Amino acid sequence: MFPAAGSRSEEVYKRAQRVMPHGSSRKSLYDMRSYAHCGEGSRIRDIDGTYILDGSNNFMVLIHGHRHAPTMTALSEQLGHGLSFGLPVLGEVLLAEHLCARVASVDHVVFCSSGTEAVMHAMKAARSITKRQKIAKCEGLYHGTYDYAEVSNAAPVKPGFQGFPVSRLSSDFGMPHVLEDVVVIPFNDAAVTEQILREHAQEIGGIVLDLAPSRVGYVAADPSYVKALRRLADELGMLLIFDEVASFRLSYGGAQELYDVTPDLTAFGKIIGGGMPVGAVGGSAKAMKIFDPTEKGGVSFTGTFNAHPLTMAAGLATLNHYRVEDIVALNKKGDRLRAMIRSGIAKQGLPAHVEGSGSFVSIFFAPRMGNGYHAIAHRPEEQALVQRFWSAAMDRHLLVDVSARLNISTAYSDADVEEAAAAIIESIEEAFNRSQPAAA
């Protein structure tokens, strides 16, 4: 972290370093400057008294921003009944009913504690159902920190590259044997993907796809690509798994609602927990039968905090207030934010590029063409610009993800959108060394 000298955050950080590696339990927060004290609507107040416009929303979790009144009320009511039990609770049934009614592909659903777990369980289910060991996933796409999901999730970006991706470990100390069980396919390249899937037709149990991947600037998966995956999965006896941990916010029934394609399984997380730890796997009754504990040869699905009462209460309250009209309004604000940034960088003659969909925004520091991983993902030579942009945004009291991505919540007013756009444009200018740093 980089707290201001003499600040309370600096004092807390020194204490944190004595008890945690680099002072934090979350790698994604290592670069932050201060500690949060409280939040309200679209803003955070840190322990140093600074108000920050929140463009992270705890990495896409808080769809309604901070202290959303119905969610807080639901949590308070559940707290009055107790924290957790060795018995199921009604809240689990209510949230399951909501998701099954909301998402066309979901007949049954089960809850866990994170998106990483949800993807992991979906992969295990696909292997168990098909009796095949391998999983196919797209190069460069992030699906959590399960060993198999991490394969090639941050592959070296090579602009102009076309062809067959290589399976890579996420770190020097990964388990090499997972490379044998993960087949990597190119995002949005149906022709090459088909060749790869056919080559491993008798080995692959499931195909995992994010319909609006963050590493590719939230560019939507091409409909023809998604349909090709469904066709191939059906023909080759594989399960199609959608990772909607982040993309679920894009439409009432999730991003999958925007495609004429039905997955066998879907992994959920983030907003469905209303700010509490959550993950879920949903799908057809046929596929979800693999989690039935009365069935022989099924996949064990258990966990101390699965379907936690507080999560179920917060999730239901949040989703009940994330209706079609709320989503349409939020996505329009996202459209407006991207348009304002594009107009600003064009006016200033900045060689930046804006991508995104719905309430997602992603900033790049060179023009982009195409819709594949190597065409869009941040390039090595951009990393210094990404860091300078993030630092400049923080100087302007706008919190964005350290990868130059942000998301907005329903708590954003029109004035918040304008403030965010102005801060982003100024931060891009500063990243390119074309403007002065913000005043302290």
Catalytic site positions: 142, 243, 270
Residue type, 296: K
Distance CA 129, CA 123 (A): 10
Two structure tokens written together for 34:
């201060």
Q: Round to whole Å and give the CA distance between 99 and 19.
A: 40
Dihedral of CA 413/415/416/418: which sign? positive
Say how far apart CA 225 and CA 196 lie, in whole Å: 14
Distance CA 435, CA 226 (A): 43
Letter string b/e over residues 164-194, b meaning 16 or more CB atoms within 10 A of that residue's CB: ebebbebeeeeeeebbebbbbbbbbbbeebb
Cα–Cα–Cα angle for 140, 354, 375, nearest 5°? 35
Nearest alpha carbon to residue 145 among 16, 26, 264? 26
